[in-house]
Amino acid sequence: MQRIGDVLPTMDALAESDDGASAAQVLQPPDSMMTCPDASCPGAFMAHDLARGLLVPTVCPHFGQSSCSKPPSEIVQQRVSWAEGAGLPPRYQHPDATRIRNSDPILAYISDLLDNVASGQGVLLSGAVGVGKTMALAFIAVSAQGILQPHSVRFMFAPALFDLLHRDADAVERLSRLDLLLIDDFGREYRGSEWAATRFEALVEARYASYKATCASTNLSPAELAETHAAARVIDRWRQTCTAITIPGSSQR
């Protein structure tokens, strides 16, 4: 099992800067985290990156130290349990932040995650196959730990989501109540499935009306997504509630 330091960047790693400023100068925990956290600490928190003016997820400075109130194994298990509860597959429960390209707008979204979720704002990640969109989406999901309860967050592979919508009459109602829904590999499902498109459109409309945040990733460009009438209606809603982020480059696989 990975240590928490393998899951999120360390204070030193996130504090690197061109002017040689130290971690203490560049990256500071919030005032409430300057002393050892209580027993509910998940082993990570949102720290102030003074160089970029953002809050970024990082490892608790007390993790693995004598000042830590919990053994490392318990903290790691707590984080794994949260990730499983939110639907993250094992491979994506420990996203590698160093592999995320064009990370600044993603970190900007995470830095205001609570406000973004409260106002129903999400992100739409696009890019070629293998550029790290799933990793970025998972990073957003795990950053909700300590902010949202796992039962209010759901990470879903789009084909599995459409299958659920097709066979479960109550799925739209349940999924529309989630505070944060993350949909990986959106786009292919509209080709040849009018019923699934109708159900998904109902879900998107319900979440839009209720100010519920949705984040999604897709291999398709906005123009390709808009090729069908149903997808165009969904993209129109997301255009109002999602920040479009392109992840550049070729496959990392």
pLDDT value of residue 10? 38
Tell which of 34, 64, 85 closes a domain: 85
* pLDDT tens profile 10-22: 334 433 433 333 3
CATH number reported for the structural domain that contains residue 239 in this entry = 3.40.50.300
pTM, full prediction: 0.73
- Pair 135, 197 in one domain: yes
| pLDDT bracket for residue 62 (50, 70, 90) | low
Look up the domain containing 57 and give its range.
Answer: 4-85
Give domain status of residue 241, yes or no. Answer: yes
What is the bridge-based pairing of β-strands 153-157 and 180-184? Answer: parallel
Give domain status of residue 252, yes or no. Answer: no
How far is it, in rounded angstroms, from Cα 179 to Cα 151?
9
How far is it, in rounded angstroms, from Cα 206 to Cα 165?
14
Tell which of 85, 108, 128 closes a domain: 85
222 C-beta neighbours (distance < 10 Å), count: 16
- Pair 161, 113 in one domain: yes
- Pair 209, 111 in one domain: yes
| pLDDT bracket for residue 31 (50, 70, 90) | very low
- Pair 110, 145 in one domain: yes
* pLDDT tens profile 171-205: 999 999 999 999 999 876 655 567 777 889 999 99
Task: Give the closest residue to 127 by CA, choosing from 159, 99, 94.
Answer: 99
- Pair 225, 122 in one domain: yes
Tell which of 85, 113, 138 closes a domain: 85
Tally of domains within the chain: 2
How far is it, in rounded angstroms, from Cα 71 to Cα 43?
10
- Pair 228, 119 in one domain: yes
